[in-house]
Each structure stands twice: as C-alpha cells, then as structure tokens.
Amino acid sequence: MALLQILHYPDERLHTIAKVVSKVDQRIKTLVQDMAETMRAAPGIGLAATQVNVHERVIVLDLSPEQNQLQVFINPVIIQKEGEAINEEGCLSVPGIYDKVTRARKIKIQALNEMGESFELEAEGLLAVCIQHEMDHLEGKVFVEYLSLLKQNRIKTKLKKRIRETL
C-alpha cells in the first residue's frame, strides 16, 4: 500500500469529472487500499479518487471511531433523495476550512463494492452527508463551491497564502 498525494483547493484538477470504472480489477483494488490508507493517515473519514488525482468513480469512507469499517463505493449513483439537512462540512482538499452546506437528509445509493458486486444502500445523517460530499468530488465540485463567491475568494486567498508560507 502507498500514501497518495491529496490535491488541495483551488487546484484545477479537482474540477475534473471522473470516468466510470469499466472493470473492478486488481488496479482498482490497489487504488481502494491506497486511498483508504491515505484517508486514514490524513486523518479523514472520506476520500474520492479525484482528490488523489485519479479521475475514476471511486469513493472510500470509514466513519467508525476505530477506522476499521471501510466502505467502498465504485460508480456510485444516487437513486433517491429525501428531505433537506444543513451540516457543517470540512474536506481533506480544503484543510482547516469548515462551513455549513445544505444536502439531502436521506439518500438511496447504488454502487459496486471492492469486489465488483452491485449493492444498494439507504443512508442518512453523517453517512448521507459524506456520500454526497464525496460524490460531488467525482463531478468536479468541492464543497466550498456551495458557499458565496465572497467566502470562496477568501478561502482561495487563505489557502494560497498558506502554500506560499510553506515554500
């Protein structure tokens, strides 16, 4: 397994729309394991392949306190949405920035697991938020893009300054 580099907003590669995974083969299984290791080391609870500059429809999540219950979603599609909820979100690609985002309260998703088997899952609460957040990455969207242009510009300026200070 390997740690992958996480892209940071406003990197343009985060706006790349991910392609459908045509076959769950060893390359995808290795990607899943590398993404899981990268997510846990960050530390985070979710990661989309887009965030590690792999533009395929793969998401890993682990909401367990022990970080030992990995959930894998390959080619995820939301097939049902219900209600509305506002939650504070953060992102490994936008370190140190948190803000409120409105999303569906409950969703039903269809995807493949790491073995290539199709499944459906109903989710609400934090799981629903995380799935929707990571699926946005697959569509080339970062959570801060739900915020006002003023907030987006402030975040870009802050993150660019942080990058300059580390060079």
134 is catalytic: yes
Which tens digit of pLDDT belongs to each residue from 49-95?
999 999 999 999 999 999 999 999 999 999 999 999 999 999 999 99
Position 101 pLDDT exceeds 80:
yes
Between 42-46, 113-117, 161-165, the lowest mean confidence (pLDDT) is in 161-165
Give the strand pairing for 85-91 and 94-103: antiparallel
Q: Are 80 and 42 in contact (CB under 8 A)?
A: no
- Residues 6 or more apart whose Cβ sits within 8 Å of residue 145: 152
Between 21-30, 103-112, 153-162, the lowest mean confidence (pLDDT) is in 153-162
pLDDT attached to residue 94: 95
**Confidence band of 99 (pLDDT split at 50, 70, 90):** very high
pTM above 0.85, yes or no: yes
- Single out the catalytic residue among 114, 134, 139, 165: 134
The CATH class of the 12-166 domain is alpha beta
What are the extents of the domains in the chain?
12-166
Cα 95 to Cα 36: distance, rounded to the nearest angstrom? 18
Closest to 36 measured CA to CA, from 64, 77, 1, 9: 1
